[in-house]
Chain A
């Protein structure tokens, strides 16, 4: 087969895999290749990301409270505290709905402004390699940002996103400039969506995401907390 035929074959095969159409033996063979081939894993992820839109029209239905009770009884039969795991991060990036807070003090910014900030966030990488402190001044609708640690990757930029409460589609707030300190003035509409939202920073090509949605790695996230 030519290279293009191989490529097409894998594209179709990955689609069949995602649609659960492969027979058991084909599926097992495909999964064995997945372990070894990153390009194939990318194809699968692309199909998953595309086809998941088929669920867009499915309305949310609150499950009965009993399901959560049962789940917690299954997972946490005792009260021993488990070690922190990565999905605290996952929860933070989705559960914009209700986030219990933390407070970050940014003395330098506080001194500069006549108004008191009403909202704050620490947008941080899990490993601490990128930390951007944010605070919002309601009176001026200014979102003040201080990049405390970390930098954009070479030839790339950092783009700031807001995931509003109850939404899973990030909204771009803009590309962070090279300066460590900057200020974005938000529209009233965006400002109103900050409360209980989550800020995130993604790795993007120069000029920011070409699609209106994050295209690169999500490098840092942090919930917006009321002061």
Chain B
């Protein structure tokens, strides 16, 4: 009574159905095609090996895949930064990149995060986006907004709590 597919066929279908979105995420975070391709491959190797974890963790399937992809891309970005010390280069790259998320046409449910982010000061919602999509650390953010590290952390934690309040309204 189940889908009569071999694992590999199912895996191939899963790849065909989701790889374009996940590759888009890799490109957005890494801004580098070769790195994005390697990351996408790494993600699907993890999917193949970790699928049994998925079932137990209660995530919706696309969230699980996108989160895995984003985390893998951020890890790669961070290791690249560690080699490249010059964080400013990476920032310049991401500043120059278009921000397609700005033109997102989302359903009302999906708008909720955006609406709640918009309730924060622009700098503060921007910091959350930068951490999520650009892998900025507290150090990066403190430098960008020109505030001490501890202040940055206090800001961001407060923003997260405000955001959470709004999201659970």
Chain A residues within 8 Å of B, Cβ to Cβ: 8, 11-12, 15-16, 19-21, 41, 45, 48-64, 66-68, 70-72, 74-76, 81-102, 104, 122, 124, 126, 128, 131, 168-169, 211-214, 217, 222-223
Contact = CB atoms under 8 A, between A and B. Distances in A.
Contacts of B90: none
Given A58-B24, A70-B41, A76-B8, 9 more contacts: A16-B156, A45-B59, A66-B37, A85-B51, A86-B51, A93-B61, A98-B16, A99-B13, A213-B109
B100 A67 contact: no
Contact of B10 (A61, A88, A131): A88
B44 to A, nearest CB: 5
24 contacts: A21-B137, A45-B58, A49-B63, A51-B113, A52-B62, A57-B100, A60-B21, A60-B23, A61-B20, A61-B23, A62-B20, A63-B37, A75-B11, A81-B7, A86-B51, A87-B48, A88-B5, A88-B7, A94-B14, A94-B17, A97-B13, A99-B13, A168-B61, A168-B62
B21 A58 contact: yes
Interface residues of B, number: 82
A222 B2 CA distance: 7
Contacts of B138: 21
B67 interface: yes
B110 A53 contact: yes
Contact of A50 (B12, B16, B113): B113
Given A21-B156, A51-B113, A94-B65, A63 B19 contact: yes
A125 to B, nearest CB: 10
A169 B6 contact: no
Given A87-B52, A90-B51, A8 B13 contact: no
**Which 6 pairs show the lowest CB-CB distances between chains A and B?**
A87-B51, A57-B104, A57-B101, A60-B20, A91-B10, A15-B160
Contacts of A52: 62-63, 66-67, 70
B126 to A, nearest CB: 12
Interface of B: 1-21, 23-25, 27-28, 36-37, 40-41, 44-45, 47-48, 51-52, 54-55, 57-63, 65-67, 70-71, 74, 78, 99-104, 106-107, 109-110, 112-114, 128-129, 131-133, 135, 137-138, 153, 156-158, 160-161, 163-164, 167
A51 B133 CA distance: 10
Given A56-B106, A104-B1, A68 B113 contact: no
Nearest to B3: A92
Contacts of B99: 57
Nearest to A93: B61
A64 to B, nearest CB: 7
B150 to A, nearest CB: 13
Contacts of B18: 94-95
B48 A54 contact: no
Contact of A122 (B1, B9, B54, B110): B1
A102 B20 contact: no
